[in-house]
Structure 1
Amino acid sequence: MSPDDRLSRLLLLVPYFLARPGMPLLEAANDLEISEAQLREDLQLLFLCGLPGYGPGDLIDMTIVDNAVTITYDAGISRPLRLTGDEATALVVALRALADVPGLSAKDVVLRALATLEGAVGLSATPMVSVAPSHTDESTMQVVSGALERGRVLRLRYYTAGRDVISDRTVDPIRLLLVSGTAYLQAWCRGTEAERLFRLDRMERAEELTELAACHEPTGQPRFSEGVFAPAADATLVRLRVGPASRWIAEYYPCEHVRSDGTDRWVISLLANNLGWARRLVMGCGP
């Protein structure tokens, strides 16, 4: 029995028993085409499912008297979930983005869920809008994903854009993240002895070592609502006056203020942790 089969059955059990209070276990097992022992295991698992809070008043509850089952609290899943059009579209977009992540494990599960949802809401299998993460080499993603799965140390040759340097890093991988279409590795860097985020598209080389990685719990859930960049306490406020050809800066980098000067020029204020990076940005814009 696959996990998918069991999950589908668990989602069915609550509405099934709600419609049949006092249903004998053996008769229910025959209906569901499983053994009575398997049904008992499923019901024991349902006792641990419910709403956030997970207290006695939040979890699914039932009584089993004389081998007959009656649901006494359904935790809101008395009927199958029905999505609104907006909710379904948002979920389709998220699944399409997830399916496009290079090296994704269990991609077939994502694609099956996407196909089912698209068929249910009548969306075209050919998306009108393509949602894809920034380019990451497939082999890099496979190496990083493999090291995470096997709990191994990674050796990286990594480009740091802020300092315009390439360095070799040895890291204990923690987890992969996808932020605004860009894949990151959250890892413990042994050189800096601190937790760091590494963009996969800036890895020139990734090598999985035979050494087992040390276990590091994430220091906290990253907050990416305003992007990945976190200005230092002593960051310098840089003010740029740019023309139409460099207007992209305001869309690509997190900015403090953006305003028009009344002509075709824009005044952009942004924080920089490294003035060398800011100088290279200006020089790259040309005259």
Structure 2
Amino acid sequence: MAKRETGLARTARLLDLVPYLTTHQGVAISELARTFNTSVKEITDDLNTLWMCGLPGYTPLELIDLEFESGFVSIRNAETLATPRALDRAEALSIYMGLDLLAAELSQEEGFLQKEISKLQDQLRTLLISTPQIQIEANLASEYRALILRAIRKRGWLEITYHSAANDEITTRKIAPYELSQVGSHEYLQAYCDSARAIRNFRADRIVKVLEIADQLWPELPIGEESTDFTYRIKVLKESRQALEVFPDLSRGSDYIESQGFSQAWVARSVLSLGGSVEAFDPADIRVAVVQAAKAALDNYR
């Protein structure tokens, strides 16, 4: 019976893989398995695990961007990962607790590792003690928060200047706010948007300005009577892991994806970001938007 690998051994290999791949771009998976004295299957599982690792924020911009579908491994954002970072309190505490778990798995014969772990924990302990115990970051200016809460109480209207991440633009909207809520690490304002004629969620830290609108009644139409949702189709030209992440409805082996969207600009930018591995098929407006954006990008290089 094959000896079962411990979690400590695999963690150590994962930690060694990143610097090794950074200095050995394009290494074959089979050679990588020989170097780390493991099987091709195990090293492939490790690479799939690294896909979900990265820097805090954990968006596609911070995760380790690996390419190994061809059988050769490379890290496409090695420079970003190499940038030195200062640990915040939560990160330092997570590492400190992780070191405790590692120390518990070490045997008596590995006393030198125990000493190294103690040294690291001493450094982390200094950071944790010197860091304020409570850190509060206000997403909204106090005067804007007061206007929003007053409008919620009085069933009033507001005019907000908002940065839309979906369209990458700053717009002015008339809204009837319903609720301020916390979801994860972000605060959201739920409100009826007059321009969309539907309920929308606005991230509080993207609200640039808030103005009070006097003497305007709440919306007479039922909430959600009109919808800006639309159906779009994407043609798959080349299967890729990135396409599966951008369009979760896509399944391996399929030639098309049909899904619901709320922003044609977002769909167009997503198609462009995949570098020709997918093509906008329907509706025609998205195809036109992709062509226009591609031409505008090319013009910047002329």
For the criterion TM > 0.5, the same-fold answer is no
Q: Under a length normalisation based on structure 1, what TM-score does the superposition of the two structures give?
A: 0.34
Which structure is higher in helix share? Answer: 2
Which structure is higher in strand share? Answer: 1
User: Greater relative contact order (Cα 8 A, min sep 6): structure 1 or 2?
Assistant: 1
